[in-house]
Structure 1
């Protein structure tokens, strides 16, 4: 039985969600860990970033597919990445 058309997104929206999940989620994950390095010592963050980075990226990937609009999730991810990166840019 085929899926109901009202629940399917357009191919371009699907592309936006896929790229937001993979690329945008990765950017948010990296910027979040940059923020955490300003709070804790670098050696502690690097030790735990392998596990927490993968988990955070997987959650952000899933959240991108749950969103209705690909542009909106890209905007949210870029805004989060900018907010998380502010301490790094102001440190310089």
Structure 2
């Protein structure tokens, strides 16, 4: 049974924004989140855990991107989250430098 057309996104730009936000934006948020965690906690444990939890977070962010009404707002939110987590990564690396 096909989907009801009134629930589908009509604009090609909105569809493009949702697809790219789901794939690329979700990946950026997932990776930056786990790297920020790794800069504050035990790196080996976080990186090993990221193999599984990173995929789960990425899929959840994909679903959220497709549920949103506006793809460009999701891009803005995902880029903002990525910048926030990158800032935490920078702070974590400056407060907890790698010692050899």
State whether TM-score is above 0.5. yes
Deviates more, 1:31-40 or 1:75-84: 31-40
Distance 1:2 1:33, change over 3 A: closer
SS at match of 2:35: helix
Larger Rg: 2
The equivalent residue for 1:20 is: 21
Q: Compute the RMSD of aligned alpha carbons.
A: 1.6
Structure 1: gaps spanning 5 or more residues:
none
TM-score by length of 1: 0.89
Q: Which consecutive segments of 4 or more residues in structure 1 shift more than 4 A?
A: none
For residues 28 and 3 of structure 2, the distance between their equivalents in structure 1, rounded to whole angstroms, comes to 35
Structure 2: gaps spanning 5 or more residues:
95-100
The equivalent residue for 1:66 is: 67
TM-score by length of 2: 0.83
Distance 1:21 1:56, change over 3 A: same
